[in-house]
A and B are shown apart, each in its own frame.
Chain A
């Protein structure tokens, strides 16, 4: 029964859609619905979708409601669960700043796109997913319109996002012309065939992915967009968008021998991201450069042999996402957004809010890849695969590039622990939802650190 397959296989997406429809109905029916209600609906839809994805994974469900375009299996379901689970802390963080139904509709819409990506079997679905993922975010960046730079950053993001879309379509049409198929396997076929048109199509697609994931030299939009957006939107871009794009890359690259082609620019990303982060004075800008470097590590995972790529990318995304979100949940808010974003506002944070400072410190050390934090295991896994595939030179270069990042992560700790707070910064008072979000990140973080094998066995 095809109808039933459509219903079951796409359950997470349907639940998100139900959330969107409910929110729209509330907006139309109740004029301006209460913030708490809106927030509850959006959170409930996301949690339900995440649980549905988990259930699909646990019951080893696999099906193809739209053969050749959309399919789901246990691994895909887990990827969806990862994306949706990471969205829960983001939603909890959003409550403080947004009680507008529009915000949540856009966020759920973007999540819908993120859910489509791991399931795509054709470039058509993939395109749909990528656009659905990005379009709402152009608006989300602008929604927290508090500073004039916000508009500029959103425009930059929109224009470059449009360029990525065009590049992607261009590449797809090249591929279609050369291979006669829109199926995702066409990408790998381009490499086997060696047809110049197909290869240039593949190169354009890779370029579009690099732009979306903010790989040097296509990264320039990220720092501006991250800085201009409000905290939850930045957290969303740094974790879920990054994860969704990498999951799309995972679908496309699958087992394609992309090695040399994808290695150089990600390596440059690590070096440049880690070096440029040193000079930042805005926390979100710094995280943007950090995410540029981490996109580099993530793409390095494709240097490894085909079968290990899924495990490496998923483990990395899980730890990176959880730890980045942990840092954002612990970040002290403030009425003045621009001032709260200054790294200087973290001065002496340990004396004001020891728990928050410790959480941010743990997140920074994990992002830097120091053991015993989970980021180390993720880094180890990626570079292990690269070395095991015989790319010794790339692995050593990548590890040395990752060393460059240590300094700016340590600088955050230094600011929080080793400097006196300049003045009594206007920290927001009780933030119960942030605490809950932080806890949601902390539990998996501790689990990944102490029992990384538990997650590895499931990937």
Chain B
């Protein structure tokens, strides 16, 4: 089978699964779970094969499909893999089966709708990542809201309706301005050749006039920044995370937040390079504020889900910092950090879901000394905690370290020219690592060690299914941490391209 066909299979398999679900007999939840798991597992197999086949030394798209969709508007169904999206596609496919398997026992209500929504969000997330046409991208981007709205709203916690409406209304506000900017970009600027096109590659080659760029970039950036989320647009995230069911939290932290950073990488910067350069200092500042503010808030939480939620804000701050640094190491590190955070935060949310199923509380004060009560659980939890802290040999180390080196790398020449601000920012980001170690290790200490106590004793340690899920995540965490080379090879060319765009020709002359 050709790669292009395989990529289409990755994208459309969830839709096929979703259409098949209503045909299953009513009340047969086991069949629904089995079918969904089979679909996402098959999808993972296809995605893994594509990741292996992906050739990092070739520029441009691979496994590309390009068909006219709305001819009258020049809109195309155009999907493909490149260095920027290939790892995120693999991450999305990897988390799919884990999410489905993780919800085997947790979800007992409206099982069919739940799995249909899991498949739908898988489809829309993959579509957002794969789209190479701005119209198609927007359709998928906005459609992501619908399944997430239901996932949080139907299977969430007590304040689920407040949380889900807040999530949708926040993100939709960004999207509506992005839509205005998108139409303006495509239709009102002078065009070369007469015909209108939404294709990314076409828009990359024809950036809009400098006067309009700042506004357009601001509209796109607002939408992406809400999704990431960057402080001060983050207030929807803790509510959404806390109220969402485990599967929703894992998807949210694992993939959905990365859509924001991916948007900056794929659209915000390359579409409006001059505006992006103009806003880079602001982006770096906000990124560092996110790192520190998220970490500080994580420090004082007593709800275990909220700790991880705020740590996500902090960790995605590193991604933004790396993307804004315009150094190859920083950009590569940002991409790696996205994958790493997807695995680690996804894993931690799964583990919180597992303990919640047993004890029905998220209050940290109710727990203590789980290492004695649940040794296997505690082992996995400790590994993921250390990965979140960024212990060498784990994926968290590789990503964060590269981002920090990259930001110093970018700040040093500026310092030599007499601008110390960038260096101060890079230094503050290091402070974030210290804070990160503090809140995570302190959390683990209170949670796992000390006097043993937990509601609903005696507790049953992890079953085979749960061990398998976590083993898969831990294996991936170590694999990336010990041997990130193959992945970095795949993204290097695309990262260089991105770097070139962000630096522009003027900056490129100054740098070696």
Contacts and interface: CB of A to CB of B under 8 A. Distances in A.
B70 A452 contact: yes
Given A350-B113, A399-B176, A418-B161, A387 B188 contact: yes
Nearest to A407: B169
A371 B140 CA distance: 8
B180 A387 contact: yes
Nearest to B69: A453
B180 A453 contact: no
B423 interface: no
B168 interface: yes
A384 B110 CA distance: 40
Given A400-B176, A406-B169, A365 B187 contact: no
Contacts of B140: 371
Given A383-B180, A387-B183, A406-B172, A392 B72 contact: no
Contacts of A170: none
Interface stretch (B145-153, B231-239, B246-254, B281-289): B145-153
Contacts of A387: 180, 183-184, 187-188
A372 interface: yes
A434 to B, nearest CB: 20
B183 A371 contact: no
A58 interface: no
A418 B184 CA distance: 38
Interface residues of B, number: 36
A163 interface: no
B172 to A, nearest CB: 6
B142 to A, nearest CB: 5
Contacts of B469: none
A402 interface: yes
Contact of A407 (B71, B142, B165): B165
A21 interface: no
Contacts of B188: 387-388, 390, 392
A456 B72 contact: yes
A10 to B, nearest CB: 32
What DSSP secondary structure best describes chain A's contact surface? helix
A395 interface: yes
B173 interface: yes
Interface stretch (A150-158, A206-214, A240-248, A409-417): A409-417
Contacts of A383: 179-180, 183
Interface in B56-103: 68-73, 75
B143 interface: yes
Interface residues of A, number: 33
B256 to A, nearest CB: 16
A395 B113 CA distance: 37
Interface in B348-368: none
B305 interface: no
A376 interface: yes
Nearest to B112: A354
A457 B149 CA distance: 34
Interface in A419-459: 452-453, 456-457
Nearest to B186: A384
B172 A403 contact: yes
A448 to B, nearest CB: 11
B71 A414 contact: no
Given A399-B180, A400-B176, A403-B176, A457 B72 contact: yes
A410 B149 contact: yes
B125 to A, nearest CB: 14
Given A383-B180, A387-B184, A387-B188, A370 B150 contact: no
Which of A392, A417, A418 is packed against the most chain B CB atoms within 10 Å? A418
Interface in B128-173: 138-140, 142-143, 145-146, 149-150, 153-154, 160-161, 164-165, 168-169, 172-173
Given A396-B177, A406-B172, A452-B70, 4 more contacts: A387-B187, A390-B188, A414-B153, A414-B165
8 contacts: A351-B110, A371-B140, A371-B143, A387-B183, A399-B180, A417-B154, A453-B69, A456-B72
Interface of A: 350-351, 354, 365, 370-372, 376-377, 380, 383-384, 387-388, 390, 392, 395-396, 399-400, 402-403, 406-407, 410, 413-414, 417-418, 452-453, 456-457
